[in-house]
Amino acid sequence: MSGRTPGNGGGRGRRARVTLRRIAEEVGTSQSTASRALAGHGYVAPEVKARVEEAAARLGYVPDISARTLKGHSSGLVGLLVSDLRNQFYAQLAAGVEQAVAAAGHQVVLVDDHGDESQAVRGARAFLSMRAAGVLLAPVGREATDLLVGHGTPVVEVDRRSGVRSCDAVTIDSERGAREAVGHLLALGHRRIAVVLDETMWATGKNRLKGYRAAHRDAGVPLSRRLVLDLGLRPADPQRDVAAFLDAHPDITAVFAANNVVAEAVWHELKRRDTAVPDRCSMVSFDDLTWMRVVEPGLTAVRQPVFEMGNRAARLLLERIEGGQGRTETRTLEPELILRGSTAAPGR
Amino acid sequence: MSGRTPGNGGGRGRRARVTLRRIAEEVGTSQSTASRALAGHGYVAPEVKARVEEAAARLGYVPDISARTLKGHSSGLVGLLVSDLRNQFYAQLAAGVEQAVAAAGHQVVLVDDHGDESQAVRGARAFLSMRAAGVLLAPVGREATDLLVGHGTPVVEVDRRSGVRSCDAVTIDSERGAREAVGHLLALGHRRIAVVLDETMWATGKNRLKGYRAAHRDAGVPLSRRLVLDLGLRPADPQRDVAAFLDAHPDITAVFAANNVVAEAVWHELKRRDTAVPDRCSMVSFDDLTWMRVVEPGLTAVRQPVFEMGNRAARLLLERIEGGQGRTETRTLEPELILRGSTAAPGR
DNA sequence: CTGTTAGCGCTTTCAG
DNA sequence: CTGAAAGCGCTAACAG
């Protein structure tokens, strides 16, 4: 199915770009008048303005952002750095960001660092290079944040905080979500609850573990280090690790999976070994994805307002860009425990 | 917090941007030499080059893309227009695109038109404005394509074709996927197979319906118009529509859901009314998402190489940007039918 | 109200 | 090998 390249309208026709000057000539006025007419501010005779607008429309004029940017204004581009767009979590986040940014008439430049800090830094450099009006950072690592903040670019961290001062953040209260989830299991009578994470270095993993501990403290149930399984970021075969862990700890009656990735591994492993859920083993996930409400039994999960988080973060950034030089702030959104069929009293 | 200019490195300070001129002064050479030194092409004495590079690194020089772009080159930005980033399908697609674009040292500008053509056009205009090197279009509608192509911007359409000539495309063979899926149901003995779509105007829906029909033709089974349910784009309550449809056609023994959105509605409705799957009703989905392999029974589905499609499309675009003025081409990727538990012989 | 003028930061001839 | 100079397209004083 190959096509021809038609003579004009289509194709390669690298016909001369229509510039302000061209329009000015067309209308018989000066470039600056044309600029003012189109920009809308500054005085222009209505009649001239109309003629300029007509010519612009007729010729298909498209303003050149680079020229405008070069002149001093920022590019109006908002950078978004995520660490894995294939993960539904980040996709939702990006969707929330995109929506708010588009509503403000800007565009999102998306970079996926695949969890690799050097990629993140390259992304940050690219944002700097294009004079992004601001940047949203969702990945781990603080080098990118440092670089951007050091150059005076407004930054908002999303979901994770790198610890860099003077930078806003929007997060979800991981500790509280975890505490509620594990508290729910404890209230049902579970006493040997495993927690599976893929990192405990960054705010998210760390706080979820903290919440797990806090819940035990609340309930006066002693903690056991052996019930903590940290798979590490990007484990080769998480399900196998979960399997080994479950084999080693047959006394476990419930599992708290600290995010959607580990939840999937845990779920598959439970299914593989035909463990009755919740009769034989209860399960709670942190992060509530489509599949969790579609499986049988539905997964009890901590729902995070992910889209909302992206949206709020973007709006905060936009405010900051507009001029807010005030104190930096951290906004925290609340997660919500959704009870479904995967949790019940132990030992039934 | 007004711009103090800190000694160096750290602060928030809107300290004067480091430009080539600044570096040239620092090194005691001319701007053009500095430019050549950093650009890497053109002759520069090795010793001078080293000094320039050192100064650039020390001062934290970041080239200004707008200036470069203005000078004539394109911005190196690649536009990506999708119609719903919250949909896992588009998220995967975007991930594939991002990966290829980043590998080529460019960045992706992401616009989500939410299925609204006017938004798509605004996005296209923005791409033009920023002199995007090329654009990938996944949404319905041809106005955006026309606009972009008309301005000489390389465009590759992904998943859908608008019918605009002189523009490459990468798609998945929907017809074949649908034909196999429905053929599978027919082979099992089903004779009253419903097909649920959300549009039949664009290439995807149209071709899936075509495949549905072709399969019937292959098997010599007569078609019945009443078995086609077209929900229309963005239905208010797809599940309710599915419910009404199933009520009206109790003789149906299998359902072919033409994409992941309608599949979810169908699945939920089947679950809600406790229809035994596959005993009472078989089901196949076009598009294979996480949840479909996690539910019980697993959904038989047509797997589309979505990430791969985005990746290929981006690579094709990049080639085109590099200079390929050759014939436009359409690459078609093959889907694959994944058999799981949701399909079986009827009337058991 | 409108035209002139001066760059923004960079690349790229074109002479030294 | 290096420097001077000319803009890319646009905006923003500043005079008319």
pLDDT in tens, B55-87: 999 998 999 999 999 987 788 999 999 999 999
Which among A63, A111, A166 is the nearest to B129, CB-wise?
A63
What is the percent of chain B where pLDDT is above 70? 94
Q: Count other C-beta atoms under 10 Å from residue A160's C-beta.
A: 22
> Nearest nucleotide to A27 by CA–C1' distance?
C2
> Nearest nucleotide to B47 by CA–C1' distance?
D1
H helical segments located in A17-116: 20-27, 31-39, 46-59, 65-70, 88-103
In this structure, the dihedral spanned by the alpha carbons of residues B66, B69, B70 and B74, taken in order and rounded to 10 degrees, is -140
Which among A94, A98, A129 is the nearest to B62, CB-wise?
A129
Q: Is the pLDDT of residue B7 over 50?
A: no
Helix (H, G, I), strand (E, B) or coil at A18: coil
Residue A122: band (very low, low, confident or very high) from pLDDT cuts 50, 70, 90? very high
* A interface test, pick of B8, B19, B62, B89 with most A CB neighbours within 10 Å: B62
Whether B225 and B181 have beta carbons less than 8 Å apart is answered as: no
CA B153, B322, A81, B3 torsion-angle sign:
negative
Distance A147 CA to D3 C1' (A): 33
The predicted structure's pLDDT at residue B296: 85
The predicted structure's pLDDT at residue A264: 93
Which among A3, A95, A152 is the nearest to B328, CB-wise?
A3
Rounded distance between C-alpha atoms, residue B224 and residue A342, angstroms: 42
Rounded distance between C-alpha atoms, residue B293 and residue A268, angstroms: 10
Which residues is B158 bridged to in the sheet?
Answer: B170
Rounded distance between C-alpha atoms, residue B132 and residue A75, angstroms: 13
**Contact yes or no for B109 and A11 at CB 8 A:** no
Distance A21 CA to D10 C1' (A): 10
Nucleotides of D under 7 A from a protein CB: 1-5, 7-13
Mean pLDDT value of segment A69-79: 89
| A165 CB contact with strand D at below 7 Å | no
CA A20, A21, A26, A27 torsion-angle sign:
positive
Mean pLDDT value of segment B188-195: 97
Nucleotides of C under 7 A from a protein CB: 1-5, 7-13
Rounded distance between C-alpha atoms, residue A335 and residue A306, angstroms: 9
**Contact yes or no for A65 and B129 at CB 8 A:** yes
Residue A190: band (very low, low, confident or very high) from pLDDT cuts 50, 70, 90? very high
Supply the DSSP symbol for B225: G
The predicted structure's pLDDT at residue A43: 81
Rounded distance between C-alpha atoms, residue B71 and residue B78, angstroms: 18
Q: Cβ-count burial of A210 within 10 angstroms (0-12 exposed, 13-18 middle, 19+ buried)?
A: middle
Whether B307 and B92 have beta carbons less than 8 Å apart is answered as: yes
**Contact yes or no for B111 and A92 at CB 8 A:** no
Residue A15: band (very low, low, confident or very high) from pLDDT cuts 50, 70, 90? low
> Nearest nucleotide to A72 by CA–C1' distance?
C8
The predicted structure's pLDDT at residue B3: 29
Rounded distance between C-alpha atoms, residue A61 and residue A31, angstroms: 13
Higher pLDDT, B348 or B175: B175
Mean pLDDT value of segment A4-16: 40
Rounded distance between C-alpha atoms, residue A113 and residue B98, angstroms: 10
Taking Cα atoms as reference points, which of A178, A255, A173 lies closest to residue A214? A178
**Contact yes or no for A109 and B296 at CB 8 A:** no
Alpha carbons within 13 angstroms on the beta-carbon side of residue A71 total: 5
Contacts of A62 in chain B (CB under 8 A): 125, 128-129, 151
Rounded distance between C-alpha atoms, residue B331 and residue B245, angstroms: 36
DSSP secondary structure of A142-192: SHHHHHHHHTT--EEEES-----SS-EEEEE-HHHHHHHHHHHHHHTT---
Strand pairing category for B282-286 and B155-158: unpaired
Q: Is the pLDDT of residue B178 over 50?
A: yes
Supply the DSSP symbol for B17: P
- Location of structure tokens 């020089």: B61
Whether A83 and A113 have beta carbons less than 8 Å apart is answered as: yes
Report in angstroms the alpha-carbon separations of B338 from B134, B171, B263, B284, B292.
Answer: 35, 19, 15, 9, 11
Supply the DSSP symbol for B328: B
What phi and psi values does residue A156 have, to the nearest 5 degrees?
-125, 125
Which among A67, A86, A119 is the nearest to B92, CB-wise?
A86
Residue B108: band (very low, low, confident or very high) from pLDDT cuts 50, 70, 90? very high
Residue type at A26 in one-letter notation: E
Search chain B and give the residue with CA nearest A292.
B291
Taking Cα atoms as reference points, which of B179, B178, B181, B159 lies closest to residue B169? B159
Mean pLDDT value of segment A221-239: 93
Report in angstroms the alpha-carbon separations of B98 from A330, B91, B136, B156.
Answer: 29, 10, 11, 14
Taking 3-state DSSP, the helix, strand and coil percentages for chain A, each rounded to the nearest 5, stand at 45, 15, 40
The predicted structure's pLDDT at residue B10: 33
Contacts of A289 in chain B (CB under 8 A): 290-291
Q: Is the pLDDT of residue B161 over 60?
A: yes
Q: Is the pLDDT of residue B229 over 70?
A: yes
Summarize pLDDT for B124-144 with one digit per residue, the tens: 999 999 999 999 999 777 899
Rounded distance between C-alpha atoms, residue A150 and residue A135, angstroms: 13
Residue A270: band (very low, low, confident or very high) from pLDDT cuts 50, 70, 90? very high
* Full-model pTM: 0.89
Taking Cα atoms as reference points, which of A121, A107, A119 lies closest to residue A78? A107
DSSP secondary structure of A181-248: HHHHHHHTT---EEEEES-SSSHHHHHHHHHHHHHHHHHTPPP-GGGEEE--SS-S-HHHHHHHHHHH
**Contact yes or no for A108 and B107 at CB 8 A:** no
For chain B, how many residues are written? 348
Rounded distance between C-alpha atoms, residue A197 and residue A185, angstroms: 17
Kindly report the average pLDDT of chain A as a whole number: 89
Strand pairing category for A336-338 and A300-303: antiparallel
* B interface test, pick of A130, A264, A266 with most B CB neighbours within 10 Å: A130
Residue type at A192 in one-letter notation: R
Search chain A and give the residue with CA nearest B112.
A98
Helix (H, G, I), strand (E, B) or coil at B170: strand
Mean pLDDT value of segment A260-274: 93
Which among B75, B86, B94 is the nearest to A85, CB-wise?
B94
- Location of structure tokens 């098997």: B219
| Cis peptide preceding B278, ω within 30 of 0 | yes
The predicted structure's pLDDT at residue B5: 30
Mean pLDDT value of segment B297-316: 96
Q: Is the pLDDT of residue A71 over 90?
A: no
| B62 CB contact with strand D at below 7 Å | no
Summarize pLDDT for A287-311 with one digit per residue, the tens: 999 889 888 899 999 999 999 999 9
Rounded distance between C-alpha atoms, residue A128 and residue A115, angstroms: 20
Strand pairing category for A330-333 and A336-338: unpaired
- Measure CA to C1' and name the residue nearest C11: B71
Kindly report the average pLDDT of chain B as a whole number: 90
Supply the DSSP symbol for B88: H
Distance B179 CA to C4 C1' (A): 69
For chain A, how many residues are written? 348
Displacement of CA A308 from its chain's centroid (Å): 10
Rounded distance between C-alpha atoms, residue A176 and residue A163, angstroms: 20
> Nearest nucleotide to A21 by CA–C1' distance?
D9
